[in-house]
């Protein structure tokens, strides 16, 4: 199964359980861009926005994906970008 298909299936399963928040289709696209080849992404918001995302939407999507357990976030030291790790299936939040 391709990475994109895995991501789409996991988000569809999440949304089907009526858990809040429901994730929009843009969340699938963002995860597919961030995690094309690896389960770790270290790209800036501006870099992701350059992929065709709205600069204001990216932080909201990332917060929702962290909140639903699809991503974990580790801040980079100084000016280094934050590191995001993908979890399929999503991790349960306490």
Under a CB-based contact definition with an 8 Å cutoff, are residues 78 and 88 in contact? no
- Number of domains into which the chain is organized: 1
Q: Answer yes or no: is 92 within a domain.
A: no
| Range 66-72 average pLDDT | 95
pLDDT value for 65 = 96
Q: Does residue 61 form part of some domain?
A: yes
pLDDT at 71: 97
Task: Tell whether 29 is covered by a domain.
Answer: yes
Q: Which two tokens stand for residue 90?
A: 């999503």
81 within a domain of the structure (yes/no): yes
Say if 22 falls within a structural domain.
Answer: yes
pLDDT tens for each residue of 35-64: 998 999 999 899 999 999 999 999 999 999
Report whether the peptide linkage leading into residue 89 is cis, meaning its omega lies within 30 degrees of zero: yes
Residue 82 sits in which domain range?
3-86
The CATH number covering residue 21 comes to 1.10.10.10
Is the predicted pLDDT of residue 94 greater than 60, yes or no?
no
The answer as to whether 41 is a domain residue is yes
Q: Is residue 94 part of a domain?
A: no
Q: Which residues neighbour 31 within 8 Å (Cβ) at sequence distance 6 or greater?
A: 7, 11, 65, 70, 86
C-alpha closest to that of 30 among 69, 2, 60, 68: 60
69: Cα within 13 Å, side-chain hemisphere: 13
């Amino acid at each position: 199964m391709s990475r994109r298909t895995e991501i789409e299936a996991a988000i569809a399963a999440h949304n089907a359980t009526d858990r809040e928040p429901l994730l929009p289709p843009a969340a699938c696209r963002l995860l597919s861009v961030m995690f094309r080849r690896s389960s770790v992404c270290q790209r800036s918001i501006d870099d992701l926005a350059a992929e065709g995302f709205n600069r204001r939407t990216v932080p909201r999507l990332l917060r929702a994906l962290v909140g639903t357990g699809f991503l974990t976030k580790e801040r980079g030291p100084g000016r280094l970008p934050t590191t995001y790790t993908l979890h399929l299936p999503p991790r349960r939040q306490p």
